[in-house]
Homo-oligomer: A and B are copies of this chain.
Amino acid sequence: MLGAGMHHRTQDFRNVFLAVLADLKQVMGTANDVLVLVASGTGAMEASVTNCFSAGDRVIVCTAGKFGERWVEMTRAYGLDVIVLEAPYGKAVSAEALEKALTPDVKGVFVQASETSTGAVHDVRAMGEAVQKTGAIFVVDAITGLGTMPLYIDSWGLDIVIGGSQKAFMVPPGLAFLSISPKAWAHMERAKLPRYYFDLKREKKYAASGESAWTASTALMLALNEALQYIKSIGMATLIDNAEQLARATREACHALGLELFAAENPSASVTAVKAPDGLDSGVVVKEFRQRFGAIIANGQGEMKGRIFRIAHLGYFDVADLFAVIAELELILYANGIPVTLGAGVAAVQRVYAEIAITDKTTDKITGKELANV
């Protein structure tokens, strides 16, 4: 990232740019075009709206949390005719509900693969199969989904899949990227919403020669290039496995500690949302993590603030981090008068580790521990 002085209109940088686009395609496992934008993930969400639709177009937003609500706000801000399919926080909109709502006049469907605010996932495979049969395009915010859950973009019919530099890709925030299917490009031919900074056709034209339409975020591109080399070296499947194993171990630890999961039915591997025990504000848990241990976990957002806390598993987090986080969580509960057997949560994590990495020495499945040693 310190090669920041690299000018964005030089061959050296073009080589980096082209490598990043090719590597993103490879780790996302798609034959679709991939483009990178200088923006937060929300910028790429906006690009999918303004490039593919016209004011008045009927679309469906599947929402089950704060980021779903962002789709609702954004599509309405651009004058789309929005049908909202809503599930309570912690749950997910079902593929059946979507299929029922998918009338022929629907031009697009928006969803989160993993709803970061609640730690729940949507069944984007079943949803994609439903949308694929229609003329609508399926737009998936996978900012925390990529690298934490399998996403077969092409076979599942995920027309636009949005990622960001700062989640499982392990790079500071400031870059967003998206894959775009031929069906989505075809929608763009008819789309009339105004756009300029986020003009995907223009970006595609520039990308062909290794450039971005506007000044590229050179330092972050260099960082993303490095992160992609790392991801390729361990394999995207291993990165996903790591998150899934840490998430499973976290859930087991919560059970052992008598804590209730917020999204028990369809938990995400990117983040585990845990209900604060009765009488304890989740903000206290977050604050004590930071003050006692210098560790950052997240509070609930919006109406969930104070009620849940969220522990992340994506990217470079490993089992050593989780041992510490769970031991710290136990001590925070203890310090706040919540009945807890010190070590019980940690032991649950150890059992998951042992089951995967010690008992079964015959598989070559990479575990959190081994990932940490890469």
Residues of A within 8 A of B (CB): 1-2, 4, 7-10, 38-43, 45-46, 49, 55, 73-74, 77-79, 164, 166, 172-175, 193-199, 213-220, 290, 296, 298
B residues less than 8 Å from A217 (CB atoms): 40, 172-174, 217, 220
Q: How far is the CA of A39 from the CA of B138 in the complex (A)?
A: 26
Asked if A74 and B219 make an inter-chain contact with CB atoms under 8 angstroms apart, the answer reads no
- Listed A/B pairs (17) with beta-carbon separation below 8 Å: A10-B296, A38-B38, A38-B174, A39-B197, A40-B197, A40-B216, A40-B217, A43-B197, A77-B195, A166-B215, A172-B220, A173-B216, A173-B218, A174-B217, A174-B218, A174-B220, A194-B194
CB distance from A45 to the nearest CB of B (A): 8
Chain B residues with CB below 8 A from A173, complex form: 8, 38, 215-219
Which residue, of A10, A198, A217, A220, has the highest number of chain B Cβ atoms within 10 A?
A: A217
| B38–A197 CB distance below 8 A | no
- Besides A42-B197, A42-B215, A49-B196, 14 more A-B contacts (Cβ < 8 Å) are A4-B172, A10-B290, A38-B38, A38-B43, A38-B174, A39-B43, A41-B215, A77-B199, A164-B215, A172-B217, A172-B219, A174-B218, A174-B219, A217-B220
In the complex, chain B residues whose CB is within 8 Å of the CB of A218: 172-174
B8 touching A197 by the CB < 8 A rule?
Answer: no
From DSSP, what is the main secondary structure of chain A's interface residues?
loop
B296–A46 CB distance below 8 A? no
CB distance from A17 to the nearest CB of B (A): 13
Contact B42 A214 (CB under 8 A): yes
Tell me how far the C-beta of A2 lies from the nearest C-beta in chain B, rounded to whole angstroms: 8
Q: CB distance B39 to A196 under 8 Å?
A: no
Q: Are B214 and A40 in contact (CB under 8 A)?
A: yes
CA distance A215 to B66 in the complex (A): 14
Considering the complex of A and B, which 6 residue pairs feature the smallest CB-CB distances, nearest first? A174-B217, A172-B219, A40-B214, A4-B172, A42-B214, A46-B197
Bound complex: CA of A143 vs CA of B311, how far in Å? 40
Please indicate which of the listed interface residues A73, A166, A215, A216 has the most CB atoms of chain B within 10 Å of its own CB: A215
Of B46, B49, B194, B213, the residue contacting A79 (CB under 8 A) is B194
CA distance A333 to B49 in the complex (A): 51
- Residue in B closest to A171 when the chains form the complex, CB atoms: B4
Measured in the bound complex, the distance between the Cα atoms of B40 and A174 in whole Å is: 10
Q: Contact partner of A41 among B10, B79, B214, CB < 8 A?
A: B214
Nearest CB in chain B to that of A220: its residue: B174
